[in-house]
Each structure stands twice: as structure tokens, then as C-alpha cells.
Amino acid sequence: MKTIAIIPARGGSKRLPGKNIKLLGSIPLLAHSILYAQQHKFIDAVYVSTDDAAIKKVALQYGALVIDRPQSLSGDFEPTVSALKHVLESIDGVVENVILLQATNPLRPDNLLQEAFVLFQEKQVNSLFTVSRSHHKLGKIMDNKFIPFNYEVGQRSQDLEPLYYENGLLYITKAPVILNNEIITKDAFPLEVNHPFANVDIDTQEDFDYAEYLIGKFQV
């Protein structure tokens, strides 16, 4: 296998119980990422890493391969790279590239992954990830005072120095990098995506409701 997609999806969500199998549109949240990966011929296999029987059932139903994640790698504070590394160590064959699709970022522009993978190959980097521009006036609170960080008081928003945030839509990383406990490397290429889908990261019911609104608006 040259390129695989991995979707980490553990159980036990506290703020939105059962979110990974909760119906978004007409299909489970998790299924959006599985089906998205399956649309791309350069992906040789789609894996779901989970510790939850209900999630495993849904993943298999939608044609993904499942790697049972041990409880030792399923805690609230366990980094995502642990799940990716566990998948690589659990399967046969040599993997060159890993595409990370987070179940909580279910909506992605149709052509995004194709564009990202082409850039990943052209740039010859060890990793690529998606970012979006922030238009917020940011600051810190110190000693009960607000200290502007990226602007001066009175400055117009359109004149702000460009700052970007990691939006979580997708990541592409060389497999040896993941085996070395990294996802985003120092040479990572930041692919800018300014689309409403980049604002969706489901952790609460409000996040879920917003995703449902976007599905209706864009007829996903």
C-alpha cells in the first residue's frame, strides 16, 4: 500500500455523547470522512481507528477497515499521532503516505484532497496541512488588562497582518514521520482553505447544528 487514509474515532465523547455515529444529514458523522476518502483512487485503503464497538460497526458498514485501538491509546489526553502510529504498526505492507481525516471535520470541498495530494507531491515535503486566515483582532489578558496581539487599537480589520489557524480539514504525512511521533513537520506545506467548511470542528451540539445548516446550504 502506497497511500492510506486513517480516521481516528474513539468513543466516550463527553460534551456530545455518541457524536461519531450521530446522524449528520442522513448518515453518521464518521461516514462523511469515510466516503470522502473512498472517492479518491490514489488512496489504497481507508482505516478507522477506534476503541468503540458501535463506531466499529458503522465503519465496517461503510466499507472501511477497522483497527481496534487499545484503551491505553484512547484516553482524553492521548495525542492523535499515537492512533496513527498504532495503525501503521498493526497492518502489513509498506506505507509511504498517510492522510489523516478527522471525523469531527466532516465537511470538505470536493476537490480539496486531490489538490492537496498533488501539492504534497510537487513540493516534495514531509507533510502538508490545511490552514485558514483569521480576521479576528486578537490579544492577551494580563493583570486584568487586554493587550492587543496582532493589531493596534483603532486599526481596521482589513489592515491586519495576515495570521492563520490550523483548521483540521486534512493532513498528509510521510509514514516514517508518523512512526517518529510527528504529524506536522518543520517543512510542512500550509495549504490555505478559506471556505465555510473550515469553520466546522464538531465538539458540541451547537457545532453539530452549524454543520447541519451548512449541509442544507451547500447540499452536501
Q: Between the CA of residue 9 and those of 2, 73, 123, 218, what are the distances in Å?
A: 23, 12, 30, 25
Q: How far apart are CA 129 and CA 97, in angstroms?
A: 13
Q: CATH number of 3-133+166-218: 3.90.550.10, 3.90.180.10, 1.10.357.10, 3.30.70.3040?
A: 3.90.550.10
Q: Among 39-43, 69-73, 136-140, which stretch is predicted with the lowest mean pLDDT? A: 69-73
Burial of 75 (0-12, 13-18, 19+ CB in 10 A): exposed
**Closest listed residue to residue 110, CA positions, set 171, 162, 32, 166:** 32
- For residue 150, the model assigns a pLDDT of 83
pLDDT band at 162 (very low <50, low <70, confident <90, very high): confident
For the CA atoms of 95, 97, 102, 107, what is the dihedral angle to 10 degrees?
-130
Give the mean model confidence (pLDDT) for residues 186-197.
Answer: 96
Asked whether residue 50 carries a pLDDT value surpassing 80, the answer given is yes
Q: How far apart are CA 212 and CA 220, in angstroms?
A: 10
Give the mean model confidence (pLDDT) for residues 191-195.
Answer: 96
pLDDT band at 156 (very low <50, low <70, confident <90, very high): confident
- For residue 13, the model assigns a pLDDT of 81
End-to-end CA separation in angstroms for the chain: 30
Output 72 or 202, whichever has higher pLDDT: 202
What is the grid cell recorded at 60? 465496517
- For residue 127, the model assigns a pLDDT of 98
- For residue 161, the model assigns a pLDDT of 82
pTM for the whole structure: 0.93
Q: How far apart are CA 130 and CA 61, in angstroms?
A: 29
pLDDT band at 98 (very low <50, low <70, confident <90, very high): very high
Domain boundaries, the chain: 3-133+166-218
Average pLDDT of the residues of the chain: 93
pLDDT band at 151 (very low <50, low <70, confident <90, very high): confident
Q: How far apart are CA 209 and CA 206, in angstroms?
A: 5
- For residue 160, the model assigns a pLDDT of 79
Give the mean model confidence (pLDDT) for residues 189-210.
Answer: 96
Tell me how crowded residue 219 is: count the other CB atoms within 10 A of its CB: 7
Q: Among 88-97, 131-140, 197-206, which stretch is predicted with the lowest mean pLDDT? A: 131-140
Asked whether residue 1 carries a pLDDT value surpassing 70, the answer given is no
- For residue 220, the model assigns a pLDDT of 61
**Closest listed residue to residue 126, CA positions, set 105, 90, 98, 88:** 98
Asked whether residue 208 carries a pLDDT value surpassing 80, the answer given is yes
pLDDT band at 204 (very low <50, low <70, confident <90, very high): very high
